[in-house]
Amino acid sequence: MTMTLLEIMRTSSVIPVIAIDDPEHAVPLARALVAGGIRVLEVTLRTKHGLEAIRAMSAVPGAIVGVGTLTRPEEFAQARDAGAVFGVSPGLTSALVAAAKSSGLPLLPGVMTPGEVMAARENGFQQLKLFPAVPAGGIGMLNALYGPLPDITFCPTGGISQETASQFLACKNVACVGGSWLTPKDAIAAGNWDRITEIAKAASGLRLA
Ligand SMILES: O=C(O)C(=O)C[C@H](O)[C@H](O)COP(=O)(O)O
């Protein structure tokens, strides 16, 4: 099943940004998130286990697994071959544009200024990650971007919490938000999957305004 980026963003109001320190955690973590109603999972390449985790989590029923922290062109084909169905990068370069096109992996590129939004749009990207969302200006920035650039849909990420997510989701140009708050390191290390499911349930109850 091939999904467009917009379909993926509309599947889930909240996308967890996941870093796997121990490959044994990948499958139970994915199951716990899916059990809580969170199906779209961004597995970052921040740790050396990222690709292995993507491979394992992709086999969990209901999970829609993407790759995060794409910063180098060669990572696109590697992540696609591991089973990722979308990719997220903290920024956009011409090499990443080319890698996204040649790999066929739908990419959500990171931007933080109006000029970067316009450059991304010139390269064919209309769904963008505002990163880092809160340091970049947060809700005020998103509302300001809507004026001149209303055709862009954002997934703000960076500094968002369960408490602030609904304010972001109320912005006209936001389809979903990303965040690491769904996967606290202490809960993962302790194998406290029930706690992750509870956090996921609270997050999946957040809706677009
Ligand atoms: O690793 C990546 O690819 C990133 O782009 C960074 C993450 O999206 C943010 O670090 C998540 O932000 P927090 O929810 O504030 O932890």
Pocket test residue of 42, 46, 157, 164 for ligand 1, highest count of atoms within 8 A of CB = 157
Instruction: Count each helix (H run) and each strand (E run) in the chain, helices first.
Output: 10, 9
In the prediction, which pLDDT does 1 show?
Answer: 63
- Residue 32 burial (CB count, 10 A): 26
**Pocket-testing residue among 41, 46, 131, 199, ligand 1, by greatest number of atoms within 8 A of Cβ:** 131
The SS3 assignment for 69 reads coil
- For position 65, what pLDDT does the model report? 98
Count of domains forming the chain: 1
* 164 touches ligand 1 (CB under 6 Å): no
The answer to whether 122 is a known catalytic residue is no
Give the per-residue pLDDT at 85. Answer: 98
The pLDDT assigned to 208 comes to 74
CATH number of the domain to which 124 belongs:
3.20.20.70
Q: What ipTM was estimated for this complex?
A: 0.93
- For residue 69, give the ligand 1 atom closest to its CA: 3
How far apart, in whole angstroms, are the C-alpha atoms of residue 198 and residue 12?
16
Specify the pTM.
Answer: 0.97
Question: Which residues of the chain fall below pLDDT 50?
Answer: none
pLDDT at 84: 98
Residue nearest to atom 11 of ligand 1 (CA): 158
